[in-house]
Amino acid sequence: MSVRLTTLPSGLRVVTDASGDLRTASLGVFVAAGSRHESEGENGLSHLLEHMAFKGTRRRNARAIAETIENVGGDLNAETGVEQTAYFARVLGEDVDLALDVIADILTDSQFDPHELEREKNVILQEIGSVEDAPDDFVFDLFTGAAWPRQPIGRPILGTRESVGGFDRGAIAAYLRRHYRAGAAIVAAAGAVDHDRVVARAQSLLAPLGAATADPPRAAAYCGGESIVKKRLEQTHIVVGFEGRAIDAADHDAAHVFAAAAGGGMSSRLFQEVREKRGLAYSIYSFHWGFSDCGLFGFYAGSAPKDAGEVTRAALDCLAEAAEKLDVTEIDRAKAQFKVSTLAALESPSARAQQLARQTFVYGAPLSLDAMLGRIASIGVDDVRQAGAAMLRSPPTVAAIGGVGRALDAAAVARRLGGG
């Protein structure tokens, strides 16, 4: 690993992992501004800003932005998350300067044309409709809203029809000025890159971001609860969850391994019991999401409406048993999966750039290979069991959509686990 990190006087951080064996490079600008940074009236603004960044600057219109990268065989994309928004490109090593120029241009000089804004708002309304038509996606919006009610982190990343419809050019520009600051941004690149050249270009091209830092988001307060939507569907979609662990918490990695061991693959307890033995669900899996100051652990299942209650009870029993009886073989299997996903990122410039940015946001600098593997190796059986048991003791969150008459509510989930 040839990782280098430079912090510019403005507070902008540039982190790279150069490889002489690769001909392509991936680079991006990652900004600590996601949906949880929005005020109540701004829900969906981070995502709309990401869309509008591609609609034209003073130097390039929307088509020219796309063609500049695609003419050299590259691709350009962006994504909005809960805590960050990322703008990234994949190009040949010789075109890294060009890619950074385009990304910097859309971040510092987007014009937010009113006509383009109205068209893009309509595109996002269609995107919202697409999620609402996909119950296996929409149920997770219900889930986070119930886990963190009346909080930015619990609101949908896309926003709502009402909030998106009300945004204007001034709202976007104000949000951009408030959150898109050098101290809140990281330039990350991997593959055929030269660190010093990326630093020099970033310092020049991203100077308009200024030197100020952005305000931190509102702290999250997990509550638990339920959100149930009755709808005529062939399947009932269920998510049951609990308070997870922040990404820098001492037991975050153990919580992640618990989720993987209990329900992260075809050999896991959840899959074997619910799908293979009982045939109650086509899709069932557990997950753990870690954020900067909080987390969520839970499981998703899609079943026939008549089986929704049985699926939920069986899954809860599996998780409770796992918190007591996960053995070294199961945990070693989950740790091996964790290790493979960690190492796989080193072999893909795109995944590596994202890994560099994520670790720099969380730890202040990328972790060494020895540190990453050491964290995984140090996780013991007791660590995993204790993390799982602690999460299952928290107030439950239940979200369901479909024929939900036989699904369990949050109080029933707590009783099943002996908490009420």
Catalytic site positions: 50
Q: Can you read off the two tokens belonging to residue 268? A: 């896991």
166 phi/psi in degrees, rounded to 5: -90, -5
**Using CA atoms, how far apart are residues 31 and 407, in angstroms rounded to an integer?**
40
Which residue do the tokens 């120029």 mark?
A: 101
Which conformational region is residue 159 in: left (phi greater than 0), alpha (psi within -120 to 50 degrees), or beta? left
CB-CB neighbours of 369 under 10 Å = 13
Q: Classify strands 185-191 and 236-243 as parallel, antiparallel or unpaired.
A: unpaired
- Burial of 155-191, coded b for 16+ CB within 10 Å and e otherwise, reads bbbbbeeebbeebeeebbeebbebbbbbbbbbbbbbb
Burial class (CB in 10 A: 0-12, 13-18, 19+), 257: buried
- Closest by CA to 88, choosing from 24, 22, 4, is 24
| Residue 72 and residue 98 in contact, taking contact as beta carbons nearer than 8 Å | yes
Those residues whose C-beta lies under 8 Å from the C-beta of residue 152, and which sit 6 or more positions away, are: 35, 36, 37, 38, 39, 40, 43, 217, 218
User: Helices (H), strands (E): how many in the chain?
Assistant: 16, 11
Give 155's DSSP letter: S
The residues, ordered by sequence, that sit 6+ positions from 129 with a Cβ below 8 Å of its Cβ are none
Helix (H, G, I), strand (E, B) or coil at 140: helix
